[in-house]
Amino acid sequence: MTLVKICGVKDAAGFDAALAAGADMIGFVFYPPSPRAVAPEAAAALSRRAEGGPLRVGLFVDPEDALLAAVLAALPLDLIQLHGEESPDRAAAIRARFGRPVMKALGIAAPADLARLADYAPAVDRFLLDAKPPPGASLPGGNAAAFDWRLVVGQPIPRPWLLAGGLTPETVAEALRQSGAPGVDVSSGVERARGVKDPALIARFVAAARRGGDDAARRG
């Protein structure tokens, strides 16, 4: 079954919608410049709305150990997502010190970008393949843009991975068909305003991803 991560959740409506839709992962952003940023205590309060259930993922951008420790003290994350310029050595150090699996986000724009996967593979547990930020972007990540999904077709990706970047309820099925991704990550594509999740869009996205994954599997 296609894994689905709803990222950038910061209020009860978004959290409850992701839970009701059957998302596999819920992402909390601990990067203050982002419009989706949430305080550790607020993320912990949201998480307590449902024990168990989706994996709790914390998104960080070049974090200091002090920030990671503070967040983990408030909220026992299941997965640490690194979305900055963290090196393989830094990713490995975070995984070792904090005892959590690590997912490294890498920006993809050309076939050569996939070469970095081999460097990170020994240091991380998952990859998130995202669009590269456009020139002049103030935030990391795809910034609601998609990359050419065909770039990953037939490529040996040495860890479990998610596809991200510009996905919406209307495009996720085609993204899965073209890329063969085992999972998807969405943030802005399920928002009614910048940083504000729309429960109806979350439900539509998860349903479309499940259908798209099933269709891709049957074709394969």
Contacts of 64 (CB under 8 A, 6+ apart): none
Query: H-helix or E-strand containing 55?
Result: strand 55-60
Indicate the range of 64-68, 100-104, 154-158 predicted with least confidence.
154-158
* Residues whose CB falls within 8 Å of the CB of residue 74, separated by 6 or more in sequence, listed in order: 40, 41, 43, 44
Is 16 among the residues known to form the active site? no
Respond yes or no: is residue 7 known to be catalytic.
yes
Structure pTM?
A: 0.93
Write down the catalytic residue from 89, 113, 119, 130. 130
β 191-193/196-197 pair status: antiparallel
pLDDT at 179: 94
Kindly report the number of other CB atoms within 10 A of residue 9's CB atom. Answer: 30
Q: Are 10 and 29 in contact (CB under 8 A)?
A: yes
Q: What is the largest CA-CA distance in the chain?
A: 47
pLDDT tens-digit readout, 91-121: 999 999 999 999 999 999 999 999 999 999 9
pLDDT in tens, 24-65: 999 999 999 999 999 999 999 999 999 888 999 999 999 999
pLDDT at 145: 76
pLDDT value for 133: 75
Of the residues 7, 11, 78, 148, only one is catalytic, namely 7
DSSP secondary-structure letter at 190?
Answer: G
- Beta carbons of 190 and 197 less than 8 angstroms apart: yes
Structure confidence at residue 216 as a pLDDT band (50, 70, 90) = low
